[in-house]
Structure 1
């Protein structure tokens, strides 16, 4: 169980490194679908989940700590994910083959806020009992 907790603690940093590396590469470096419109739509929609995943990984890492997971710590996880989203857009603006936009940031924040709603509800509002049980086991 200790190894699992340490993996959860390291995952956010590994994921942040992966985001940084992928943001440095052309959008079609790993996958390019034959239909360019579908390719573009899928890759743009990934903004909705990319930083939501980072937020969830940060929450999971914090849940493995000995201290209580507070509402303030939950907000801090969301803010850190959002700030990393901003830094990612700034990072992408330095590459000619990448783009940075306010709309991408809105998508990043939307994904974070949706996950924040569910995690806050599960851990602090008595909603989503199944999710609360899973998160409470860490």
Structure 2
């Protein structure tokens, strides 16, 4: 069980490194679909989940600690994920083959806020009992 806890604690950092590396590469470095409109749509849609995943990984890492996971710590995880999203957009702006936009940030923040809503509801508002049970096992 200790190994799982340490993996959950390291995972957000590994994920942030992966985001940073992928932001330094052309958008079609790993995958390019034959239809450019579908390719663009899918890659733009990933903004909705990319930083939401980071927020969830941060929450899971914090839940492995012995200290209580508080509403303030939950907000801190969401803010950290959002700030990392901002830094990623700034990072991308230095590469001519990448784009950086305010609309991308809105998508990043939307994904974080959706996950924040469910995690906050499960852990602090008595909603989403299944999610609360899953998070309680961490």
Q: Same fold (TM over 0.5)?
A: yes
Aligned: 1:11 with 2:25: no
TM-score normalized by the length of structure 2: 1.00
> 1:115 maps to which residue?
115
> 1:20 maps to which residue?
20
How far 1:122 sits from its partner (Å)?
0.2
How far 1:137 sits from its partner (Å)?
1.3
- Gapped regions of structure 2 (runs ≥ 5): none
Q: Equivalents in 2 of 1:123, 1:23: separation in Å?
A: 33
* 1:93-138 alpha-carbon deviations (Å, 9 max, x no partner): 0000001000000000000000000000000000000000110111
> 1:30 maps to which residue?
30
TM-score normalized by the length of structure 1: 1.00
Aligned: 1:85 with 2:85: yes
User: 4+ runs of 1 displaced by more than 6 Å?
Assistant: none
> 1:45 maps to which residue?
45
Q: Equivalents in 1 of 2:99, 2:36: separation in Å?
A: 17
